[in-house]
C-alpha cells in the first residue's frame, strides 16, 4: 500500500495539535496548495514557501510575514516516507517558538501514516469497523469491493439513511472514572443495532447509526447521557445515504461546535439555526465583528448579556440566575449601553449584541 496523507487525516492532525500548541497549522500538497488547515478559509490557497519546501525536500523557516506568496511567519517541514515527500506541514509563529511543535507534528503524522499502512485484508471485525467508519466520513473509498465486503461482514444495510454522531468524553474526571465512562460508552454502542463506531484519540467516538434506530432509541440515549452526569456530549449530524456520510460528519461537527459545555449535552444539526451561519464565517470576520460590537465590554458584561438573552430579556429571570437584584441588572445594562453604544433592550442593538455573544461562545 502506498503511503499517503489524505485530507481528512491531515485535518484531524491539525485540529488536535492546535489544541496543544494554539498555533495555526497547514498541510500543503505537491502543487503548493493548502489541503488541510486550522483556518478552513485558507484551504485551497497557494502557499509558495510550502511548495518550495516540497521541491527541495528540506525545512524552510520564515522569519517575517509576506516573505513569500500566501505565507506567514513560521516553519514549513516536509514529511518524508521512504525518501518521498508526502506533504509539507506549515506552522505559524516565530520559528524559535514553534520549532518544537513542528517536530512533534512530524512525529505524530508519521505514526498515523504507519497506522494507515496496516494490511487492510488482515483486519479484525473491530479494525474493519474502524476502516469503514473512517472511509465513509472522510469519503476516501479507494477499494469499493473491499468496503462492500467489510459492510457485509459487519451486517450493515446500505439502503437505509444513516447519521453520524460525535461523542465527546469530557476530560475532567480522574483516570478511574474516565476509564469507566469509556467502558459504558462501548457497551452502549455495541448494543445499538448495526451501529458502527471508532475511537478518535484523545477523547471522541465517531459513530454511524441508522436514522430509524436513532429516533427509536433517542429517549434512551438522553437517559444514558443524564445518568453519566454530564460526562459526555453528543453531537448529531444530518441523515444521508451511506455514500454521503462525509456530509453527515460535517454537519455533526457544526452541531458539536454549538454545544455549551456548561448547560448542554446533546445537539442536533437539524435543530440549529444561527450556528449554521456562524460555521460558514471565517474566524477573522468573527473577530472583527466582536471587536466592533463588544470590544469595550468586560467579561462580566458579556456573561450578563448571555444570561439576559438566554432568559428572553427577562429581568426577573436574569436576576434569579445571577443572584442579583433587578435594580443591579438595570444598572449593569445601562453601563453596557454607555460602554458599547448599543442598547441591550432595543431590538436592533440587542440582535447585534446577541450575535456577538453567540460568536464568542461558538469560537471558544
Residue 298 banded pLDDT, cuts 50, 70, 90: very high
pLDDT value of position 362: 56
In the chain, % of residues over pLDDT 90? 46
Cell of 89: 506541514
Q: Which residue has the cell 460568536?
A: 359
Domain with CATH 3.30.70 in the chain: 121-275
Please compute the mean of the pLDDT values over residues 208-218 and round it to a whole number. 91
Please compute the mean of the pLDDT values over residues 229-251 and round it to a whole number. 92
Of residues 252 and 258, which shows the higher confidence score?
252
Q: What is the pTM of this model?
A: 0.57
Flag whether pLDDT at 259 surpasses 70.
yes
Domain with CATH 3.30.450.20 in the chain: 7-116
Please compute the mean of the pLDDT values over residues 338-342 and round it to a whole number. 95
Whether 206 contacts 164, CB under 8 Å: yes
pLDDT value of position 363: 56
pLDDT value of position 117: 61
Domain with CATH 1.10.10.2840 in the chain: 281-362
What whole-number distance in Å separates Cα of residue 119 and Cα of residue 108?
Answer: 20
Residue 69 banded pLDDT, cuts 50, 70, 90: low
Residue 261 banded pLDDT, cuts 50, 70, 90: very low
Picking from 140, 118, 114, 138, the residue whose alpha carbon sits closest to that of residue 128 is 118
Q: For 159-179, what is each residue's pLDDT tens digit?
A: 999 999 999 888 666 777 778
Beta-ladder partners of 79:
87
Cell of 257: 461546535
Alpha helices (H) in 22-61, listed in sequence order = 48-56
Flag whether pLDDT at 121 surpasses 50.
no
The domain 121-275 having CATH identifier 3.30.70: the answer here is: yes
Residues 6+ apart with CB under 8 A from 85: 30, 54, 57, 78, 79
pLDDT value of position 118: 54
Length of the chain: 364
State the greatest distance between any 2 C-alpha atoms of the chain, in Å, as a whole number: 71
The domain 281-362 having CATH identifier 1.10.10.2840: the answer here is: yes
CATH dotted code for 7-116: 3.30.450.20
Decide: helix, strand or coil at residue 240.
Answer: strand
Amino acid at each position: 500500500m502506498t503511503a499517503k496523507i489524505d485530507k481528512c487525516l491531515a485535518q484531524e492532525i491539525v485540529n488536535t495539535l492546535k489544541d496543544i500548541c494554539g498555533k495555526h497549522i497547514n498541510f500543503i500538497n505537491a502543487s503548493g496548495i493548502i489541503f488541510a488547515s486550522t483556518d478552513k478559509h485558507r484551504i485551497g490557497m497557494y502557499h509558495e514557501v510550502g511548495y518550495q519546501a516540497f521541491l527541495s525536500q528540506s525545512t524552510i523557516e520564515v522569519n517575517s510575514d509576506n516573505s513569500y506568496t500566501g505565507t506567514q511567519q513560521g516553519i514549513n517541514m516536509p514529511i518524508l516516507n521512504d525518501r518521498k515527500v508526502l506533504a509539507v506541514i506549515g506552522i505559524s509563529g516565530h520559528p524559535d517558538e514553534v520549532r518544537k511543535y513542528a517536530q512533534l507534528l512530524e512525529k505524530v503524522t508519521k505514526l498515523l501514516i504507519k497506522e494507515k499502512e496496516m494490511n487492510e485484508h488482515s483486519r479484525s471485525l473491530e479494525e474493519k469497523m474502524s476502516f469503514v467508519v473512517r472511509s465513509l466520513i472522510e469519503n476516501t473509498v479507494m477499494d469499493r469491493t473491499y468496503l462492500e465486503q467489510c459492510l457485509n461482514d459487519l451486517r450493515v444495510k446500505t439502503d437505509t439513511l444513516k447519521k453520524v454522531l460525535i461523542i465527546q468524553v469530557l476530560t475532567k474526571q480522574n483516570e478511574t472514572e474516565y476509564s469507566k465512562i469509556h467502558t459504558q460508552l462501548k457497551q452502549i454502542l455495541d448494543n445499538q443495532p448495526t451501529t458502527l463506531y471508532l475511537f478518535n484519540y484523545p477523547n471522541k467516538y465517531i459513530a454511524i447509526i441508522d436514522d430509524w434506530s436513532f429516533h427509536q432509541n433517542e429517549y434512551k440515549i438522553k437517559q444514558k447521557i443524564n445518568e453519566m452526569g454530564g460526562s459526555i456530549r453528543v453531537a448529531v449530524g444530518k441523515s444521508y445515504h451511506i455514500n454521503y456520510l462525509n456530509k453527515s460528519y460535517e454537519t455533526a461537527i457544526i452541531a458539536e461546535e454549538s454545544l455549551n459545555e456548561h448547560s448542554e449535552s446533546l445537539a442536533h444539526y437539524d435543530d440549529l439555526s444561527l450556528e449554521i451561519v456562524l460555521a460558514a464565517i471565517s474566524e477573522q470576520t468573527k473577530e472583527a465583528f466582536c471587536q466592533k460590537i463588544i470590544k469595550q465590554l468586560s467579561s462580566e458584561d458579556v456573561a450578563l448579556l448571555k444570561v439576559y438573552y438566554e432568559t428572553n430579556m427577562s429581568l426577573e429571570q436574569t436576576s434569579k440566575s445571577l443572584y442579583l437584584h433587578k435594580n443591579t441588572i438595570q444598572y449593569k445594562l445601562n453601563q453596557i449601553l454607555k460602554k458599547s453604544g448599543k442598547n441591550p433592550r432595543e431590538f436592533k442593538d440587542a440582535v447585534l449584541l446577541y450575535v456577538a455573544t453567540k460568536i464568542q461562545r461558538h469560537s471558544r
